[in-house]
Amino acid sequence: MNRTLKIIGFVVAMGVITSSLLIGMDVLTSERITRNEQALLQSKVLDAFDIEYNTSNIYDTFVANVEEVNVEIDGQTKPVYRNPETGSISFEIEGGGVWGPIIGVLTLNEDLMTIEKVGILAQQETPGLGGRIVELPYLAKYEGVVFDPSVEILKEGANAPNEVDAITGATSTSSSFQIILNTSYETVVPAYQATLGGE
């Protein structure tokens, strides 16, 4: 009995000490981690808008060159980033991949139909297969593709303006990404147009 109590006491004490250490560490770092994630998003948007920046002035360049439009979707506000010079817009896209969420940035031309650039912020796809979605040469295939009325990711023979080649050997990642692109487009763009029209 005494020994059991001792073990329980030890386990509880250890749990309390380690979790308070972790909470302390979280308090110390969480602000910086959020800021790093923000900086990654901002750098992708600046990349897509062809605005030059360096690692130390991402935030300032972003604030000076990018307009933020808050769009209401299903009662929630979502920021859409607009380049005042060209009129192209950029917004975060998110959805389920094969192993976890895929989060990215979609940038559209001023006609709000043609893709200027697609960037990936976070993904957990199979390394070497679906994971190749982060590779810049692959993402470059999306430049100039038109939502007419939606984008299609095909296994082979992408010819029409709304078709893109899939990643070889990653059928599920490709079809999930197609869904992510199209649903984000269909929800964000009409809401953005409504917000602009209402102003």
Partner 1 sequence: MRKFWLRLQYTKWFNITKDGLFKENPIVVAVLGICSALAVTNRVENAIAMGLAVTFVVTASSLVVSMVRKVIPSRVRMITYMVIISAFVIMVQMFLEAYFPVIAAALGAYLGLIVTNCIVMGRAEAFAVKNPMKYTFFDGIANSLGYTWILIAVAIVREALAFGTILNFRVMPDTWVNWTVMALAPGGFFVLGLIIWGVREWAQNFEVAAE
Contact residues for partner 1, defined by CB under 8 A: 3, 6-7, 10-11, 14-15, 18, 21-22, 25-26, 28-29, 32-33, 36, 40, 128
Asked if 139 contacts 102 with a C-beta cutoff of 8 angstroms, the reply is no
Q: Which is nearer to partner 1, 53 or 69 (CB)?
A: 53
**Backbone φ/ψ region at 75: left (φ over 0), alpha (ψ -120 to 50), beta:** left
Asked if 162 contacts 148 with a C-beta cutoff of 8 angstroms, the reply is yes
For tokens 């810049």, name the residue.
136
Q: How far is the CB of 105 from partner 1 (least distance, A)?
A: 16
Q: How far is the CB of 87 from partner 1 (least distance, A)?
A: 31
For tokens 């990643």, name the residue.
167
Per-residue burial over 152-185, b = 16 or more CB atoms within 10 Å of its CB, e = otherwise: ebeeeebeeeeebebbeebeebbebbbebbbebb
CA torsion angle for 19, 22, 24, 29 (degrees, to 10)? -160
- The H-assigned helical ranges of 88-147 are 136-139
Q: How far is the CB of 137 from partner 1 (least distance, A)?
A: 14
Altogether, the residues listed in the chain come to a count of 199
Q: Which is nearer to partner 1, 75 or 127 (CB)?
A: 127
Q: How far is the CB of 189 from partner 1 (least distance, A)?
A: 30
Q: Which is nearer to partner 1, 6 or 155 (CB)?
A: 6
Q: Which is nearer to partner 1, 29 or 57 (CB)?
A: 29
Q: Which is nearer to partner 1, 12 or 140 (CB)?
A: 12
Q: How far is the CB of 49 from partner 1 (least distance, A)?
A: 22
Q: Which is nearer to partner 1, 121 or 164 (CB)?
A: 121
Q: How far is the CB of 29 from partner 1 (least distance, A)?
A: 4
For tokens 């360049």, name the residue.
61
